Each structure stands twice: as structure tokens, then as C-alpha cells.
Amino acid sequence: MAHTNIVNKLFTKKTKDYSFTIVFFIIFSFFTFFVIKPNLTIVFSLQKDLGELKKVDSEYERAIIGILSVQSALEKNRESFPLLNFALPATPLVNQVIDDVKKAASDSGLILGKADINQVSLKESKPNSKNKFYSINISTTSDFKSVEKFINTVIQQRRLKAVKNLSITKDEKESTNSSSLQIKLEIEGSYL
């Protein structure tokens, strides 16, 4: 009798409603913890990754735009690069600078008296990104117009050279306008 009484109580409307509600909450909890929560976690992590990827994308876009602008500048100035390599070569090429100075002297009517070149390293032990310099010291006797023409000719040549020091002295014994001047000149050449 107790057994039939328990079975009858189990199949009453109220018990069935409570049983259905309990089973529903158990199944709902299962789905919440094992299906919905991982999906929500994945959605939030993907949103975070999307934000980070948008930042990376904008950085890459800026880098690509920078590369494209450099590339367009290179394309626009392509014809000037041989001139740049000629103006500032990778090696000293002292002989070419001396030839340039000799040509400038002959074009301006200047006779070179003495020319000294400071020490130039032809073998580099380690590469350096800065420009390297060497100087040529020239001593001569001439008039002012020839020296002026010589300096202008040296400066206008394609090879990059700079007049670092210029000393002009007049012989005190002569007082004429066409008297010779003692010229000491330091020309600096550069290379990479």
C-alpha cells in the first residue's frame, strides 16, 4: 500500500510540474555551463582579437603607405642616382679628385705649386654609416682672379668637395695690383 501511495503521489499534477521544472533547470544549467558560456567566451575573445587586428592592420597600412611613398620617390629620382654615386662615392677615389683639381687649375690658369694629401684609409676594418673625409692641401702663387675662378670651378664639379681653409697673403716687397699672391688652400673630399 505504501508503494502504491508513493506511485500515486508521483503521478499527481503538482509533482509532475515540479519534476518538469527541476529537470528543465538541470538541463538549462547544463546548457548554460557547457554550451552557452564557452560560446560567449569565444565571442568576447574574438571581439578582443578583432580590435587588436584592426590596430595591427592600421600600423601595416601606415608602413605600406610609407614604403610606397619611398618607392615613388625612388622612381621619380631614378635618373639622379648615378649623379649621387658620382658626387659621394663609396671609396675615396683620390686619383679622381686630384684629376678634378688639376683640371680646375688648368681651366682657371692656376699653376699648382705643391699639393699634399692627408692619410686616407683604403681598407676599412668595419663598415661605418657616417661619411669619411680626407683633405688636399694646395700651395701656389697666383693672382686673385685665377684663384677665384679655380675655387668656383672646383665647387661646380660633380664630385662633392668643400673648400675648408683658404689663406691669401701678399708679398710685402711688391706693391703693384698684378702682384702675385701666396695661396694656401685646403680642399676636403668625402666618401661613404
Phi first, then psi, for residue 181 (nearest 5°) are -110, 140
Q: What is the pTM of this model?
A: 0.52
Q: Where are the domains of the chain?
A: 2-74, 86-191
Residue 63 scores a pLDDT above 90: yes
Q: What is the CATH number of domain 86-191?
A: 3.30.70.60
State yes or no: pLDDT of 156 exceeds 90. Answer: no
User: Can you tell me the distance from the alpha carbon of 110 to that of 181, in angstroms, rounded to the nearest whole number?
Assistant: 12
No. of helices (H) and no. of strands (E), the chain: 6, 4
Interhelix angle for 94-108 vs 144-156, to 10°? 140
Is pLDDT at 152 greater than 90 in this prediction? Answer: no
Residues 6+ apart with CB under 8 A from 180: 141, 142, 143, 171, 174
pLDDT reading at 126 higher than 60 = no
- Give the pLDDT mean for 63-79: 87
- For the segment 96-124, what is each residue's pLDDT rounded down to a tens digit? 888 888 888 888 888 787 877 877 766 66
The residues facing 181 across adjacent strands are 142, 170
Average pLDDT over residues 160-167: 81
Residue with grid cell 711688391, as numbered in its chain = 174
